[in-house]
Amino acid sequence: MYASTEGGELDLVNLLYNYVKTEREKHRREPGVLWVSDLVRCSLKRVYEERFPEIALSDMFRPSLVIGTLLHRGLEELLRNILGEVTVQAEVEGSKEVLLESGEVVVVRGRVDLLLARGDWRVAVEIKTSRSDRGIPQEHHVDQVRAYNWLLDLDRSILLYVTPDRVTQFYVDERMSDSEVASVVTSKKAPRYSWECSYCPYSIICPNKVVMQRP
């Protein structure tokens, strides 16, 4: 068995690393633009991402994220092969301007994992991987998909969970309203959910960190 990739052997780990890095570089932040993912998580993360970019970088190649990326690519390919007349597009982007109560206008942008279309029929698919099926569908995932329905004017999206215990889907037919989006854009909630801090790379510097009690 070879544990080393020295000596000119094919270095698949390095290829994967570079792929993840390139994908990440496509998602650079622009001033005045918020992503749907910003709307459903702790408001401080966005601030720290800009101030301490290297901290998030070190999280980029976390194995659970790599597994998620591979699953997305695999499902995309699989659906293309088996869905016949349905068009399967990955990473479809939408963008809308939102007027805030202050009079400021911000742009909200988002990319759905997959968009399936045939004629006038369109449905988005958001893929989630998780170590457990406890509590699914999770509130922030449903909110994320409701935001995509708003962003892309969709009547329905599918939230697909792939976990070791369950592979299942939930239909989400609700949309966020303009006023709800404006309200979450201005929300300063940090953390948005108490469990967020346990998975947050900025917990090493954050004064708002919620420390969960050990059982």
Question: What are the tokens at 27?
Answer: 């998602």
Which range in 9-17, 19-27, 38-46, 132-140 contacts ligand SF4 by CB under 6 A? 38-46
Using CB under 6 A, pick the residue from 62, 208, 212, 214 that binds ligand SF4.
208
Which range in 26-34, 131-139, 145-153, 193-201 contacts ligand SF4 by CB under 6 A? 193-201
Which range in 8-16, 91-99, 122-130, 200-208 contacts ligand SF4 by CB under 6 A? 200-208
Footprint of ligand SF4 on residues 45-74 (CB under 6 A)?
A: 45, 48
Is residue 127 close enough to count as binding ligand SF4 by CB under 6 A?
A: no
Q: Residue 36's closest CA among 101, 93, 89, 90? A: 93
Is residue 184 close enough to count as binding ligand SF4 by CB under 6 A?
A: no
Is residue 39 close enough to count as binding ligand SF4 by CB under 6 A?
A: no
Which range in 25-33, 37-45, 140-148, 176-184 contacts ligand SF4 by CB under 6 A? 37-45
Kindly state the number of chain residues that form the binding site for ligand SF4, as judged by CB under 6 A: 14
Q: Residue 198: which residues within 8 A CB-CB, separation 6 or more?
A: 212
Q: Residue 105: which residues within 8 A CB-CB, separation 6 or more?
A: 97, 98, 99
Would you tell me which residues interact with ligand SF4 (CB under 6 A)? 42, 44-45, 48, 190-191, 196-197, 200, 202-203, 206, 208-209
